[in-house]
Amino acid sequence: MSYELILITGMSGSGKSIALHALEDAGYYCVDNLPPELLMPFVQLEDQLKAEKVAIAMDVRSATSLHMVPSQLAQLREMNVQVRLLFLDSTTDTLVHRFSETRRRHPLSRSQNPAFDEPRDLIAAIEQERQLMSELREQSHIIDTSLLRASKLQSYIRSLISAPSSQLTLMFESFAFKRGIPVHADYVFDVRMLPNPHYEPDLQKLTGKDQQVATWLSKQLEVASMLDQITHFLHYWLPALNQDHRSYVTIAIGCTGGQHRSVYLTEELAQRFSDEWVTLTRHRELENLI
């Protein structure tokens, strides 16, 4: 048996259906809300059908049997199934807003009278869900959808699955501290102390992807030092992460506005590691400007 299985889990309202649609468009055979009890029989059936790419979504609706999944995934890897785990997450405030907009009930909501106490029960349900999903979250590549539009989430999913599943993939991501730290980041580096092109009139409206900004930052000694130190740290620890069977590692670089310094360092770091590892880049704040 040899094929690729992507298991999508995550918080209710975080965009699992959107992610599943993106995988379906990419040629995956997709199944939503498969109970863990049926995972192994389903895999055996798909092997008979000669399916090569399968995506399965599981969520808290299977709460009573989610504890089975980690051991099942270990068993699947022993059967030569290439398993990837994606966990979609969002901040509690974002999830509350989404449920309020759609007027949908949370699967764990205990409220019987939404007019009076739904907000309180909704937050309690979300926190309970976090606890129930924590073990799977720990083993997965986390995607923070708090600030992602549907189209950007689909694009992000496509970029992740385009990387070879047998290799460690590095996601270098720029962000603005003023909009919050990405909850999915494995490592976060703060570069707000570096010289800021924002205060240069000719560079203010540009981004770290523009050559003028890149040239200006490349001449700053502090920037070069930061790049070298982050590079040394990652070179030292990435082999150990690879041996730990990690599929993805996200390195987040943050500055004040997420437009100049963090974008430049993200691009430079991705280039430095591209010969040795599969590298992807994402610029959270620039995406939200499009």
Mean pLDDT by runs of 10 across the 290 residues of the chain is 83 93 90 90 74 86 82 86 91 91 81 47 89 89 89 87 78 94 92 97 96 97 98 95 84 97 98 94 83
Closest by Cα among 214, 206, 159 to 19 = 159
pLDDT tens sequence across 115-161: 444 445 888 889 999 998 988 898 888 999 998 888 889 988 988 88
Q: What is the pTM of this model?
A: 0.75
Question: Could you give the CA distance from residue 205 to residue 197 in angstroms, rounded to a whole number?
Answer: 9
pLDDT value of position 68: 86
Cβ partners under 8 Å of residue 253, min gap 6: 172, 173, 174, 175, 189, 191, 230, 262, 265, 266, 269
pLDDT value of position 166: 63
Query: Within 13 Å of residue 237, how many CA atoms lie on the same side as its CB?
Result: 12
pLDDT value of position 49: 61
Closest by Cα among 172, 59, 186 to 126 = 59
Which stretch of DSSP H or E encloses residue 46?
helix 39-49
Q: Which long-range contacts (CB under 8 A, 24 or more apart) does 236-242 make?
A: 238/168, 238/170, 238/273, 238/277, 241/168, 242/168
Topology at the third CATH level for domain 4-162:
Rossmann fold (3.40.50)
Torsion angle, alpha carbons of 41, 42, 44, 47, to 10: 170
pLDDT value of position 113: 47
DSSP annotation of 137: H
Question: Could you give the CA distance from residue 9 to residue 132 in angstroms, rounded to a whole number?
Answer: 12
Question: Could you give the CA distance from residue 156 to residue 166 in angstroms, rounded to a whole number?
Answer: 19
Give the domain ranges of the chain. Answer: 4-162, 169-287
